[in-house]
Amino acid sequence: MSVSSPVSTYVIGDVQGCFAQLEALLHKVRYRRKRDRLWFVGDLINRGPDSLATLRFVRKLGERAVTVLGNHDLHFLAIVFGKHPTRSSDTLDELLGAPDCLKLAHWLRGLPLLHKGRGVVMTHAGIPHIWSLKQARRRAREVEAVLGGDRYRKFFRVMYGNEPAVWSKSLEGIARQRVIVNYFTRMRFVNAAGELEFLHKGPLENAPRGFRPWFEFPPHIRRPIVFGHWASLEGVHRKRAIGVDTGCVWGRSLTALRLEDGKLLCVGCD
């Protein structure tokens, strides 16, 4: 009697519309569509050449895929629902002109900011050390309720901004929602109080005075946090933080982390 091979779960770094490289990575890991599961750390789209095919592919996977929202995904939603203009660096024209653009956008806004399972927690940028897992989940659900509710258009009109730069229980309304979104999708360097710093995006040695990478502060979360967003790290593997954004859209590589054994697999991205 044959014994079927175990199910594998692959956490894939920022695809950003690099669909050909995603297909190459899935071929390399011998992905089995009916058995294996794919997790995406966000930024499915933008900057790369094929955002439309990427979104269509992941949406069609249904329950076989888990995706958390990234800042580029939210930027697309802000264009569609908040009437924000595109930027010169965007590569979203094909997606915005597609007949199923609205259908894809409504699907995207129903995705979470945080996912817990298989012994890890996944968000796009990370989780600040000032939050416990319970607090992080509660705050993610706050914003997810807005995105999935009937006031999402108003949210996307006023989503952008660097203020407030630090969490406070007293925050309300859009200020509260914005800082939650910024922690989950834009965070890199923070200080001991959890204040966000947005100017520096480079390697760790370029940390501004008084700030450190968010994952270098003692965490309140015992599970490893798997994240993307920070391509200049070219992947980071710490006990409590595993970065899988290895800069595919910048010509480096696209990486998958297999959760069952912790193995990292990647393909080059010319």
Question: Taking the CB of residue 256, how many other CB atoms lie within 10 A of it?
Answer: 25
Under DSSP, the state recorded for 84 is P
Give CA 241 to chain center in angstroms. 14
Instruction: Measure CA of the first residue to CA of the last residue in the chain; give whole Å.
Output: 44
- Report domain 9-268's class: alpha beta
Give CA 244 to chain center in angstroms. 10
pLDDT band at 2, cuts 50/70/90? Answer: very low
What local confidence, expressed as pLDDT, does residue 1 receive?
41
What local confidence, expressed as pLDDT, does residue 238 receive?
84
Residue 5 has pLDDT above 80, yes or no: no
Closest CA to 12 of 106, 21, 71, 52: 21
Report residue 190: phi and psi, to 5°. Answer: -140, 165
pLDDT band at 65, cuts 50/70/90? Answer: very high
Residue 69 has pLDDT above 60, yes or no: yes
Residue with tokens 């309140």, as numbered in its chain: 220
Report residue 38: phi and psi, to 5°. Answer: -115, 130
The model's pLDDT over 23-52, given as tens digits with 9 standing for 90+, comes to 999 999 999 999 999 999 999 999 999 999
Average pLDDT over residues 180-194: 97
Between CA 140 and CA 249 the distance in angstroms is 27
The model's pLDDT over 166-182, given as tens digits with 9 standing for 90+, comes to 999 999 999 999 999 99
Instruction: Round the CA-based radius of gyration of the chain to a whole number and report it.
Output: 18
Cis omega before residue 49 (within 30°)? no
Domain ranges, ordered by start, for the chain:
9-268
The answer to whether 76 and 47 are in contact (CB under 8 A) is no
Between CA 17 and CA 25 the distance in angstroms is 14
Q: Do the bridges between strand 241-243 and strand 225-227 make them parallel or antiparallel, or are there none, so unpaired?
A: parallel
The model's pLDDT over 136-170, given as tens digits with 9 standing for 90+, comes to 999 999 999 999 999 999 999 999 999 999 999 99
Coil vs helix vs strand at 163: coil
Q: Tokens standing for 120? A: 């890890």
